[in-house]
Structure 1
Amino acid sequence: FPVCRGELDEIIGIVRAKEMLVALEAGDNVAALASASPAIVVPETLDPINLLGVLRRARGSFVIVTNEFGVVQGLVTPLDVLEAIAGEFPDADETPEIVIDGDGWLVKGSTDVHALQQALEVDDLVDEDEDIATVAGLVIAVNGHIPRPGDVLELSPLQFTIVEANDYRVDLVRVVKLRQYNDEEE
């Protein structure tokens, strides 16, 4: 974990969770422990190839990413870089974003629209000019507001049935190809 003085942009160093818990239980100074392991900080403009070399020096940990003003933007792990190159690796407890469900698919609202188009072999669900990235964003745009569970929306060649949603977001959608689209394919 990064240990900071007052605010996120003042990083003292890095401490492993186990070390921090032992230090806290013993009443030791966590800041002193953190200063023994300084954070590795990189600019957000660093290219991925050079970032790999920096991550090797971090010995499997992570590096802190800052912008041109030194403001922390986040952190990067070796897995983040690998996923940027090779695509997302699902966690052991992570369910797939698109699951076959009878004659359709159950799709998480957070699923990328382009991933849905590729998986279902359809095109042009979204215009390139539109700022829609997820399935939830797509059904909200089509509906004009956040739909409720049970709402059915059509966007040729697909039909979307809202399975799980609340006042703030769409979590799960059932998608089927419209009949006339299936007939045209054959």
Structure 2
Amino acid sequence: MSRGELDEIIGVVRAKELLVALDHGVDVAQFAAATPAIIVPETLDPINLLGVLRRARGSCVIVSNEFGVVQGLITPLDVLEAIAGEFPDEDETPDIIPEGEGWLVKGGTDLHSLEQLLDVHCLVVPGEDHASLAGRLIGLKGQIPQVGEVITLDDLSFTITEATDYRIDLVRVTRTRPVDPDEESA
């Protein structure tokens, strides 16, 4: 919680606790001040940051620059994800879901990740600015494809399964020819 400006932090509170406090007529500023924010410089090395996060007991740590301007916040989960890769949220579905002989892929899926999973080299094109599957397919088509439309690239077939007028949400990816096990080991 802050006093008008993000750089004037009063304290760190959880939303549920704040709502309960408001319901009981507690002074919000005093409530927030009871749990002061832990502020660290952006130059703090990761090893020392782990110690600070341990002392924060599951709370977030505010990061500020040399001028005291807030740059962001870090949680223990951020550090774990930096080490082990991103963890899906409870309500989050994976970007790539195996389905039968193919995959259901979210339009926003990173091209490098998809290329690695499919063991192909046709998705990422040097010099092109496409970062997601949707961007690559729109680039190939020249416009946003309609639901049911099929785009073929090398030995991959991309069927648009969910889309709006503004974006591609879900694509079914299949191989147009089976992968030869001898080619994989070569």
TM-score (norm 1): 0.83
Aligned counterpart, 2:56: 58
The CA deviation string for residues 39-79 of structure 1, in whole angstroms up to 9 with x for no partner, is 12334454433322221121111122345654444322111
Amino acid at match of 1:83: E
Q: Compared with structure 1, are the counterparts of its residues 7 and 115 closer, same or farther at alpha carbon in structure 2 (3 Å cutoff)?
A: same
Amino acid at match of 1:32: Q
- Give the drift of 1:166: 0.9
1:53 is paired with a residue whose SS is helix
Question: Whole-Å Cα distance in 2 between the matches of residues 159 and 41 of structure 1?
Answer: 50
- Give the drift of 1:102: 2.1
Alignment of 1:100-179 (within 5 A): 100-179=98-177
5+ long unaligned stretches in structure 2? none
TM-score (norm 2): 0.83
Question: Whole-Å Cα distance in 2 between the matches of residues 43 and 175 of structure 1?
Answer: 45
Q: Does 1:21 align with 2:19?
A: yes
Question: Whole-Å Cα distance in 1 between the matches of residues 43 and 149 of structure 2?
Answer: 44
Superposed CA RMSD: 2.5
Amino acid at match of 1:138: R
1:168 is paired with a residue whose SS is coil
Does the Cα contact within 8 Å between 1:158 and 1:177 map onto a contact in 2?
yes
Does the Cα contact within 8 Å between 2:122 and 2:154 map onto a contact in 1?
no
Question: Which stretch shows the higher mean deviation, 25-34 or 62-71?
Answer: 62-71
Q: Compared with structure 1, are the counterparts of its residues 173 and 15 closer, same or farther at alpha carbon in structure 2 (3 Å cutoff)?
A: same
Percent identity over the alignment?
68
Q: Compared with structure 1, are the counterparts of its residues 10 and 119 closer, same or farther at alpha carbon in structure 2 (3 Å cutoff)?
A: same
